[in-house]
Structures are given as C-alpha cells and as structure tokens.
Amino acid sequence: MSGTLYMAGQHLRFFKVRSAILVLGLTLTIALPVASHLIISKYGDALKSRADSTPYVLGMRGNRFDLVLKALYFGDAQIDAITMEDVNQVDRSDWATTIALHLQHTAKGRPIVGVSETYFDFRKLSAHHPNIRMELGDVVAGAVVAEELNLSVGDRILSDRQTLYDITGQNPVNLKIIGVLKPTGTADDRVLFATLETVWLLDGLMHGHPNAKHAGTEDPHRQGIAYHEVTPENRSSFHLHAYPAEIPVSAAIVIPKSEKGATILEARYENKESLQLQNCAQVVDEILSMVVQIKTFFDAYYLFVLIATLLFVGLIVALSTQLRKPELDTIRHIGASRWFTVRLQATELLMIVAMAGVLSLAVTFIGLQIADHFLLVG
Amino acid sequence: MIQFTNVEFTYPDHTFGLTIQNLSIIDGERVAIVGPSGSGKTTLVKLMSGALIQQRGTIISCDTKLTNLNDRALRQFRLKRIGFVFQEFALLDYLNVRDNILLPCRLGAEPMSPEARDRAEALARSVGLHRHLDRYPQKLSFGERQRVAICRAIVTSPSIVLADEPTGNLDGTTADEVISILDDCVQQSGATLIVVTHNLELTNRFDRTIDVSEFAAAYT
C-alpha cells in the first residue's frame, strides 16, 4: 500500500468521529437528491405505464384526479358512485367496451375491488392457480396482500365492518380465497379482487337467507336471518334487493373500439352534468407535471444544500490544513515533497467522498426498496 | 563529513544571518551546538540538512555539495542521509509507535519491507518500547515519545543525526536518559551526531562543542 494511502487511511481511522460526520454529511447530501430523483422517476414511470394502458375512466363528475387515482391505483379518495346503467349505456353505444369497478370495502384493511370478469384479461393478470372463475363470495388475492396476510387458496377472510358502532349496518361476510395472483409490481398486487355481485353483497344490496319454511318463520327479512358466508349449498338463496339500473359502481374503465369512438364518447360526456369521462394518460400527465414542478423546487433546494456542503467541506479542509501545519511541516522537513502533503490530504478527502458514495448507493437502494414497498402504486 | 567553507547566510528579511569561514565535522563525530536563544543554532542545523540554502560559500555534507542539488534531490538527501530529532517530538498522533518509527520509509526513504519492520521493532526493543508498538503517541510519556522520535531518526541508518534540542521538553533525569539512548543508538550505527542544546551539563558527553554565537551576524 502506498505511503499516502496508508497514512490517509490511518488518519481517518484515528479521527473516527470527525470522519464519520463528514461521511454522513456528504452521504445525505448525495443520497437525498439521487434517491428522490430515482423514486420520483420510478413513481412517475409506474403511474404513467398504468395510465397509458388504461384509455378512459368513467365516473361521477367531481375531482378528476381522485377519480383516476381511485380507478387506476385503488387510492383512498372517496368518490361518488355511478350506476350500472351509466356503464351499460356506454356498452350499448357500441363505441367502447367497459370494465366496471366497485371499491367500497376492505378486508383486514386491504381494498376489495369488485370487477367485471374481463378485468384480469385487460390487465393481463394471471394466478398461480389456473382457471380462476370467481363466484359470489369468492376473492382473488393480489400477490402482496397474500404474502402479507399469509393467504392461500382455500383460506377465508372476513370483510371489515364499515361502521363499527352501527349495529344495523351490514355484517361482515366471510370470503373465500380461490386464487392468488402472480406479482406484477402494480396496484393489483395490493388488493383483493371479487365479483361485482360480491361487493354488492358487502354493500347490503344482496343477501341470502334460509327458505322461509326452513327457517320456521314467515318473513326471514324481518327476522334478520341472513347468511354471512357463501357456500355451494346456500349460494342459490342469494338475491339482489335493488333495481338493476340503480346498482352502484365506483367507476368504469372505458376502452374505445376506435379513435372515432373515443372522440364521440369524449364529446358525449364533456357536457354531462353528472358524469365525467377522463383520459387517464392526460390526467396522470397533469399530476406528474405538478410533481415535476415540486421536484424542480426541491432540486434547487438540494443544489443549494450541495453548494453549502461543499463550502463547508472546503472550510473543514482549510481549517484542517492549518491545524495540521506542524504535522505537515514535520513530514516535509524529514524529506517529503509539498506534493506528498497535498496528495495525503486529497487522498483523505477522496476516501471520505468514496465512502460517502458507497453509503449513498446503499441509502438510495434502501430508499428505493422502501418506496417500492410503501409508495409505488403503479 | 560536513564542511562549511566561506558560508554566508541571511534570512530574506535581513533580520539575522550566519557567517562561517570554516567549519568541519568529521564522520562519526559527536558534536554539541550551543549558544544563547536566537544565536542561530537551528539555522546552522537547517543549513547542514539543506533545509536552508546559503547565499555564498560551499557546504559539503556526506560528500555531497548541497548547492548542486535541486529541490527534489535535496529532499531525497534529507530523507535518506539525515535523521531528525525535534524538540517537540513531532510524532504523528494518528500513527502508532511502529508506524511513526517507519515514517521515513513511508515517505520513500526506502521501500516498506519486512526487513524495515524488523529493524523498527528491534530499535523499539533496544529503547524499551517494544510493548508499546501498537500504542499511539498520546498514550506515551514525554520520555517515551522522544525515544520513538530517536528510533524514527535512525531507522533508515542515516549518515548524520541532527537533534534540535531533543531534551528541551524533558526533566533532568529523562533528558539524561534520552541523550544516553540517542548516543548509544548513533554510536551503534556509526552516524555523525549533532545535537543542539541549551543544557551545558550535557555537552561533556560530546566529542566537541560548537558555540554558534561566534558565527552570528546580526542585522538591524
């Protein structure tokens, strides 16, 4: 090992605390902007990719961001429901096909998404267990939900009670896991899928109960007797208590059959008072442009922090050179060149920068993992 | 041998200078340099080592005419031919005793080799520091630090050992002990020993005493 490298290493080792503070300071200065840039890029790419593959979303007129985020990424925003009739109208127009979505309920805190059967094909979702065919009372778990809740095919999961203190509210339903989806790295991993009918069951719009004669009562509705689990034996007893036209859905994905169809539908819904048809890519672009504006602010902030940190490092080097003058004079007196002492200090600085670089990579990597786990919703 | 002939040296600010017509120190000689503060003892030592260059005259040290050497050659000359012992010990706090002794090797006096390490350890053993090889200077007494500095000065077997007030920071007993160690080590290596000292009691240990005040040329 060369003299400068060895002596620089010994110097950093001996003054551990000072070295550690410098390394940590530089690490934060490097890692924060890099990690935030990567996370925002990844977040943006994930949002964009899902938006690009989803042409339009139909929903109740209101905040377009909430509607798109809810329909694409199953976010927490509350949106008003539309009806199945609204969705069927689009289907009947023959300009587009639709996939209805209904998100009102959760099970162990994870969203239960009621979907039309075509949703899995549309999103190219496949399960570990082949031939998934959801029936009433069945759910298919996303990969992350299954892993986190340790769910497998055949297990049951109880839907969450929506209003804890409302004893007249709908009771939780025991749902059966009939499949676990392969991981996709998208929002589909973090939800439970069910049929629309199953979600209506959770809404209280459907229920099943024993035949009046079997129950020994004249009116089982009045008695409040209802099944809380769908089984092959009682499945046929479930029925809907609502007019089909009034059945609610949160939103619908609209897939135009042609450009012409898309244009006509856009025009048709542009002035509708109660409904809105949103182009997902445009809405997500708007969201991302806002994120980019905020990011620009942070980039400027990080730049100032970087400049300030570099000035501080320069100050520390200058002060350190002054403090070390006797040491450096001794080294030169013994026979080292001025270049050797410059090299010695430069090597120390480079080692600190290198350690900060490596640590920054680690911090960035961990940051990305955490972001993957908690933030990414693509 | 060190030979000064018609040497004139003046600091750039003309506050002090030395004029030496003739001064010879033969190989292996042990010389004490004495004189009051500010009389030029350290200046003389720096001229001997090539750390200062005179304006006139000739200095020949170890058969080398120092004025003929460029900066790089002068550094190499100091590194390989001269061992230094300083009043303030001038040990590097962040190097342990072993590495402090081996500092001239790290600076390029000779390649770092197992032989150099063995030599450093043998030297440390000879001055009673072998148990402290992995310790850092701050954990050593002043006397121990100066012994480390002596080992560092002679680890590359230099031709000349220049000690600038090596006992200045030590009490009487320790000073005596350090001079004995320095004397022994240098005698074993056969080097020329030149010691700057204020302590006149120590001068009887040397072959010769030079009073530098006779060379001083003060300026006003």
Nearest CA to CA, how far is A327 from chain B (Å)?
Answer: 6
**Quick check: A13 contacting B, CB < 8 Å?**
yes
Q: Which residues of B touch A15 (CB under 8 A)?
A: 94
- CB contact (8 A) between residue A330 and residue B79: no
- CB contact (8 A) between residue B79 and residue A14: no
Q: Which residues of B touch A14 (CB under 8 A)?
A: 93-94, 136
Q: pTM here?
A: 0.71
Residue A212: the pLDDT is 46
How many pairs of residues across A and B have Cβ atoms under 8 Å apart? 59
Q: Which residues of B touch A10 (CB under 8 A)?
A: 94-95, 99
Q: Which residues of B touch A335 (CB under 8 A)?
A: 75-80, 104, 107-109
Residue A221: the pLDDT is 55
Residue A147: the pLDDT is 92
Three-state SS annotation for chain A: CCHHHHHHHHHHHHCHHHHHHHHHHHHHHHHHHHHHHHHHHHHHHHHHHHHHCCCEEEEECCCHHHHHHHHHHCCCCCCCCEEHHHHHHHHHHCCEEEEEEEEEEEECCEEEEEECCCHHHHCCCCECCCCCCCCCCEEEECHHHHHHHCCCCCCEEECCCCCCCCCCCCCCCEEEEEEEECCCCCHHHHCEEEEHHHHHHHHCCEEECCCHHHHCCCCHHHHCCCCCECCCCCHHHEEECCCHHHCEECEEEEEECCHHHHHHHHHHHHCCCCEEEEEHHHHHHHHHHHHHHHHHHHHHHHHHHHHHHHHHHHHHHHHHHHHCHHHHHHHHHHCCCHHHHHHHHHHHHHHHHHHHHHHHHHHHHHHHHHHHHHCCCC
Residue-wise pLDDT for B139-159, tens only, equals: 999 889 988 999 999 999 899
- Name which of B43, B94, B105, B159 to mutate to probe chain A: the one with the most chain A Cβ atoms within 10 A of its Cβ: B94
Residue A225: the pLDDT is 64
Residue B205: the pLDDT is 86
Q: Which residues of A touch B71 (CB under 8 A)?
A: 337
Q: Which of A3, A11, A326 sits opposite B106 (nearest CB)?
A: A3
Q: List CB contacts of A258: < 8 A, sequence separation 6 or more.
A: A95
**Quick check: A340 contacting B, CB < 8 Å?**
yes
Residue A362: the pLDDT is 93
Question: Whole-angstrom Cα distance, residue A133 to residue B38?
Answer: 102
**Quick check: A335 contacting B, CB < 8 Å?**
yes
Q: Which residues of A touch B84 (CB under 8 A)?
A: 333-334
In tens digits, chain A (378 residues) has pLDDT values of: 578 999 999 999 999 999 999 999 889 888 888 888 888 888 888 888 889 989 999 999 989 999 999 999 888 888 899 999 999 999 898 899 999 999 989 999 999 999 987 899 899 888 877 667 888 889 999 999 999 999 989 899 988 887 666 566 677 888 999 999 999 888 999 999 999 999 998 888 887 877 644 545 555 555 556 777 888 888 788 888 888 778 999 999 999 999 999 999 989 888 888 899 999 999 999 988 888 888 888 888 888 888 998 898 889 889 988 999 999 999 998 989 889 999 999 999 999 999 999 999 999 898 888 877 766 455
- CB contact (8 A) between residue B107 and residue A10: no
The residue ranges of chain B whose pLDDT is under 70 are 217-220
- CB contact (8 A) between residue B94 and residue A326: no
